[in-house]
Amino acid sequence: MGPIPLCVLLPVMVLTAVVAVTAEENTIDDQYTWPQWKVPLVRKRHTVPLSSPSFAAHPQPELSGTCGIECQRHIPSPSLNDLEQFLSYETVYENGTRTYTSVSVHGLNEVTVWPRNTSSRSRHKREVYGTDTRFTIADKQYSTKYPFSTSVKISTGCSGVLVSPKHVLTAAHCIHDGKDYLDGVQKLRVGILKEKSRRGKGGRGKGGKERGKRRKGDKVKEEGLEMEENGGRGERKGRGKGKKIRSRRSVDSGKPSFKWTRVKKTQIPKGWFKGVSDGLTADYDYAVLELKRAPKVNHMDLGVIPSVKKLPAGRIHFSGFDDDRPGNLVYRFCSVSEESNDLLYQYCDAKPGSSGSGVYIRLKEPGKKKWKRKIIGVFSGHQWVDVNGDGMQQDYNVAVRITPLKYAQICYWVHGDSSECQVA
Ligand SMILES: *[C@@H]1O[C@H](CO)[C@@H](O)[C@H](O)[C@H]1NC(C)=O
Ligand SMILES: *[C@@H]1O[C@H](CO)[C@@H](O)[C@H](O)[C@H]1NC(C)=O
């Protein structure tokens, strides 16, 4: 055989080069794209009535003695049986009655690999939180618009996030202290920041039209929100932008106020209750509240990612109602310092009141250019963490991660049907 003519070889080489470039682009792009997961199924087994709770517990501003990431390393991973126990749950209704539902978990082994150890072993020195890098979202232009509008206040003093038109995700400790429901849970309400409406009924009738319009407005709004997304460029820039937003306040802007909605039912995983999951309790600090009426505010979807630290912009965001700035929504972002499958440590500035906030990140939707924010965790709060199980405590800001299994459970609570919850 003679030499291969150049005219045959050349297109092949060009093709190879093109493929190589595309492949590289894909890997870069993948890092910025929401992964798609097959998640396990959480199904209801039985529901039995329980006696009404006494609703006598008092809220704790700060949790201590938490078995955190380091301490949990000494605990064997839970069996399927254990997981079914931890994910079984209690429901409390607005009339004060309570039920217990046991669940079964299916397809745990078919789930895309969720590595046991994503965390680096490096031990950080206790980092100083430094200057306060929280932003008060004072202008109703922002505080009542997406993504900030998804943040809600819980009447027991915490924050939460809308994860469906009428469901709020929050921290379990905002509802239950591990032994009993908090005083105040029987009349639990959720506050949504709303502009003081002047139009009253008129605005309501146009609900359908407004929704379409809101989409269009997104572009302008996103520019205003550079403060949020450009966080990576450093604080000074962020600060400047924050200021600009405040000074741009329009003349007629009154401070938005809370519109309160009653909670119809509350669901908490049994893993949160004392004596059930031992050292893993911190992993189950989440609860879902169903509202009596949908507040007509956009919600934020849940998302699952294998590692936050490995993301190119490994930065998380959350907004809540910190106690030291009453009535104001407070936004912050920061990097994750350490993560396990179930928990995140971070150094975002936060005060009590922001517990229960939805921790989110922004990635691209598969096959689309558009960025989408999703909730990947629930902020548990500032906690004293038992580092090695020997009583030595260190303080961290802890968040509970949305794992595939927790995604499955929360999705089931929201939809009431696990077949709608197969892919995250
Ligand atoms: C309380 O509410 C639940 C759910 O709506 C209902 O199933 C139950 O029968 C009610 N119980 C009482 C005593 O009213
Ligand atoms: C997780 O990491 C620890 C410490 O590096 C190691 O001892 C352990 O075997 C790892 N576990 C798994 C399941 O890889």
Per-residue pLDDT tens over the stretch 292-351? 999 999 999 999 998 888 876 678 999 999 999 998 999 999 888 889 989 999 888 899
Question: What is the spatial distance between Cα 278 and Cα 198, in angstroms, rounded to a whole number?
Answer: 52
| Averaged pLDDT for residues 215-219 | 39
Q: Phi and psi of 413, rounded to 5°?
A: -60, -40
What local confidence, expressed as pLDDT, does residue 140 receive?
80
pLDDT beyond 50 at 23: no
What local confidence, expressed as pLDDT, does residue 130 receive?
53
| Averaged pLDDT for residues 362-381 | 93
Minimal-distance CA residue to ligand 1 atom 1: 95
Which residue did the predictor score with more confidence, 411 or 391? 411
Burial of residue 352 (number of CB atoms within 10 Å: 0-12, 13-18, 19+): middle
pLDDT beyond 50 at 208: no
Query: Cα 420 vs. chain centroid, distance in angstroms?
Result: 20
Which residue did the predictor score with more confidence, 114 or 189? 189
| C-alpha 385 – ligand 2 centre gap (Å) | 21
Query: Confidence class of residue 389 from pLDDT cuts 50, 70 and 90?
Result: low
| C-alpha 74 – ligand 2 centre gap (Å) | 10
| Residue 130 identity | G
Q: Which ligand is nearest to the CA of 186?
A: 1
Minimal-distance CA residue to ligand 1 atom 5: 93
Question: What is the spatial distance between Cα 387 and Cα 119, in angstroms, rounded to a whole number?
Answer: 15
Mean pLDDT taken over the chain? 80
Q: Phi and psi of 344, rounded to 5°?
A: -125, 135
Summarised one tens digit per residue, pLDDT across range 178-190 is: 999 999 999 999 9
| C-alpha 154 – ligand 1 centre gap (Å) | 23
Question: What is the spatial distance between Cα 389 and Cα 400, in angstroms, rounded to a whole number?
Answer: 19
- Spell out the alpha helix ranges (H) of 264-387: none
What local confidence, expressed as pLDDT, does residue 411 receive?
97
What local confidence, expressed as pLDDT, does residue 131 receive?
64
Question: What is the spatial distance between Cα 412 and Cα 14, in angstroms, rounded to a whole number?
Answer: 50
Could you identify the atom of ligand 2 that is nearest to the CA of residue 77? Answer: 13
Question: What is the spatial distance between Cα 300 and Cα 295, in angstroms, rounded to a whole number?
Answer: 14
Q: Phi and psi of 375, rounded to 5°?
A: -80, 125
Count the Cβ atoms, other than its own, within 10 Å of residue 388: 12
pLDDT beyond 80 at 119: no
The percent of residues in the chain predicted with pLDDT above 90, rounded, is 50
| Averaged pLDDT for residues 207-228 | 41
Secondary structure E strands in 144-256: 151-154, 159-164, 167-170, 189-194
Question: What is the spatial distance between Cα 141 and Cα 248, in angstroms, rounded to a whole number?
Answer: 10
| Averaged pLDDT for residues 242-270 | 73
17-26, 142-151, 358-367, 393-402: segment of lowest average pLDDT: 17-26
Cβ-proximal residues to 388 (8 Å cutoff; 6+ apart), any chain: 70, 71, 74
Could you identify the atom of ligand 2 that is nearest to the CA of residue 121? Answer: 5
Q: Which residue has the tokens 């907004």?
A: 319
| Averaged pLDDT for residues 86-103 | 97
Which residue did the predictor score with more confidence, 229 or 237? 229
What local confidence, expressed as pLDDT, does residue 247 receive?
40
What local confidence, expressed as pLDDT, does residue 251 receive?
41
Question: What is the spatial distance between Cα 303 and Cα 215, in angstroms, rounded to a whole number?
Answer: 21
| C-alpha 386 – ligand 2 centre gap (Å) | 20
Summarised one tens digit per residue, pLDDT across range 128-162 is: 445 667 899 888 888 888 999 999 999 999 999 99
- Give me the residue spans of the domains in the chain: 32-195+238-420
Task: Write the DSSP symbol of residue 150.
Answer: G
What local confidence, expressed as pLDDT, does residue 264 receive?
97
| Averaged pLDDT for residues 273-300 | 95
Cβ-proximal residues to 109 (8 Å cutoff; 6+ apart), any chain: none
What local confidence, expressed as pLDDT, does residue 306 receive?
87
| C-alpha 73 – ligand 2 centre gap (Å) | 8
Task: Specify whether the backbone of 278 is left (phi greater than 0), alpha (psi in -120 to 50) or beta.
Answer: left
Q: Phi and psi of 33, rounded to 5°?
A: -115, 140
CATH of domain 32-195+238-420: 2.40.10.120
| Averaged pLDDT for residues 121-133 | 49
Summarised one tens digit per residue, pLDDT across range 27-58 is: 556 778 898 888 999 999 999 999 999 999 99
Q: Name the range with the highest mean pLDDT among 123-127, 181-185, 383-387.
A: 181-185
| Residue 224 identity | G
Question: What is the spatial distance between Cα 308 and Cα 341, in angstroms, rounded to a whole number?
Answer: 10
Pocket residue to mutate for ligand 2, from 77, 114, 116, most atoms within 8 A of Cβ: 116
| Averaged pLDDT for residues 64-79 | 88
